[in-house]
Structure 1
């Protein structure tokens, strides 16, 4: 059995399925991110903020997209980003 197969014989290709999440989408500009470690650190920190449903970090663009139950608290998001070692410079346009 190859490593991509499960014990029941089905094959896992590594593909993921996007799941639609209802909520408020807000995009932030974040400076200082340069690599996958940065992406992981910011994702984990922002994901812990109350009400956040999902986080998508685009290191190259310096953008963090947050989907929250309601409009996210910018101060809490900024604090999480800061504690991860980066700087939230505002909402992206």
Structure 2
């Protein structure tokens, strides 16, 4: 299992958490998505390392911005 944490800007409420969780959770290989709204962090558990472009696209589709590390 691979756990990766991403910083996401623009999340402010429970709907934000649901939207990001749904979009990122739809990426093939993702097993779990945990969103820390207060910290703006999304931790993704997957069965293999994820393509950063796929994560960025999913966060963008949800309406938020992935912060470059």
- Say which structure is richer in strand: 2
Using CA pairs below 8 Å that are at least 6 residues apart, which structure has the higher relative contact order? 2
Aligned to 2:23: 45
Unaligned runs of 5+ in 2: none
List alignment gaps of at least 5 residues for structure 1. Answer: 1-22
Which residue of the other structure, out of 6, 10, 14, is the alignment partner of 1:36? Answer: 14
CA RMSD of aligned residues (A): 0.8
Task: Give the ranges of 4+ consecutive aligned residues of structure 1 lying more than 6 Å apart after TM superposition.
Answer: none
Q: TM-score, normalised to structure 1's length? A: 0.72
Which structure shows the bigger proportion of residues in helix conformation? 2
Greater Rg over alpha carbons, structure:
1
Give the TM-score normalised by the residue count of structure 2.
0.96
